[in-house]
Amino acid sequence: MTTDPLLTALTAHVRGTAHARPGDCPCGAATLADRPDATVVRHAGIVAKAHAPDADPAELALRVSVAARLPGVLLPPLGPAPVPLHGRLVTHWPYGTPVDPDDPDAAPWEAAATLLAHLHRTPAPTAVPSMRGPAKAALAVARLRASAPHHPATAPVLRAWAALPAWARGEAAMPDTTTLCHGDLHLGQLVRHPAPEGPWLLIDVDDLGTGVPAWDLARPAAWYACGLLPPDEWHRFLTAYRASGGPAVPPVEDPWPALDVPARALIAQTAARAVTKAVAADRSLDEVEQSLVDACARMTAHRPRAPRG
């Protein structure tokens, strides 16, 4: 039995919510995530998420309302607004089957790209805040500065970060303020609903808002540029996005002029997180983490052309 007050309260809350809905079985609750920025618990077909302690109530409510209005793209919520619990805001969602991390061949790259393209092409159905991708990247770098100022990997990450334009560092308005974006796209942000074999939908609205749509392509683009994502998977993703009319990159021309800055920002953000975690665990960087730091060093040593998409 957990002794964490928030997790205990959230587990009891989602159990009570599930039992109040007809047809939900009385099975046990399961913790899906328990991080400082999010605690997620499932009971039967209901998922309750406690958002970050600094989540803005009005902004979160707007983001949830977008999910309610785009049911073919985003997983629709089970309630109209967040509710307070133990000093946190809680939202409710239907359970969906996540991507299987142990079956990389089944990764739904085409589905992810198609959903993103549809999201980017859809006018925001209500006023929403700015997409939070750059702000989250800036937070990761700030934490690196505070926790590991003298680590040998910190300097190349900070140099790569400083070379980015102000908008990508969350210090200025984004050049696009109208396109609806997810803000934190990776394969963990897709589920099948209805479970277990329904269509894929995007989840997690914490960073959703208007901004530069290329940010949503930046993580797979960065992984590809670093050699961490096989070329075939990158091309599947990019081809599906273009085939669905996604506006973040040109239909046939080189995509990298549009992707370069967001991809560099995601590399710096992920490297910052990797170094921070390694320092907290008092361990050396692993091979993947070191490859991200090395990529940051290359980004400021020279400006090579990224691989063609």
Q: What is the pLDDT of residues 159-202, one digit of tens each?
A: 999 999 999 999 999 999 999 999 999 999 999 999 999 999 99
* First-last CA distance in the chain: 49
Query: Is the confidence at residue 267, as pLDDT, over 80?
Result: yes
Residue type, 161: W
Q: Tell the CATH topology of 104-301.
A: Aminoglycoside 3'-phosphotransferase; Chain: A, domain 2 (3.90.1200)
What's the rounded mean pLDDT across residues 199-219?
98
Confidence (pLDDT) at 106: 87
5-94 and 104-301 share one fold: no
Strand-pairing partners, residue 201, are: 191
Q: Determine contact, residues 185/200, Cβ cutoff 8 Å.
A: no
State the CB neighbour count (10 A cutoff) for residue 92: 19
Rounded-to-integer distance, Cα 51 and Cα 87, Å:
10
Confidence (pLDDT) at 144: 98
| 5-94: CATH superfamily | Phosphorylase Kinase; domain 1 (3.30.200.20)
Confidence (pLDDT) at 263: 97
Q: Where are the beta strands (DSSP E) in the chain?
A: 29-35, 38-43, 46-50, 83-85, 88-94, 97-98, 180-181, 190-192, 200-202, 209-210
Distance of alpha carbon 25 from its chain centroid, rounded? 31
Rounded-to-integer distance, Cα 4 and Cα 101, Å:
27
Q: Determine contact, residues 154/145, Cβ cutoff 8 Å.
A: yes
Domain range annotation of the chain:
5-94, 104-301
Rounded-to-integer distance, Cα 200 and Cα 52, Å:
25
Confidence (pLDDT) at 8: 83
The pLDDT-based confidence of 1 (bands split at 50, 70, 90) is: very low
Q: What is the pLDDT of residues 34-82, one digit of tens each?
A: 998 999 999 989 999 999 999 999 999 999 999 999 999 999 999 878 9
Confidence (pLDDT) at 247: 98
Query: Is the confidence at residue 17, as pLDDT, over 80?
Result: no
Contacts of 241 (CB under 8 A, 6+ apart): 113, 114, 116, 117, 217, 248, 249
Q: Determine contact, residues 51/41, Cβ cutoff 8 Å.
A: no
Confidence (pLDDT) at 308: 47
Percentage of residues of the chain with pLDDT beyond 70: 93
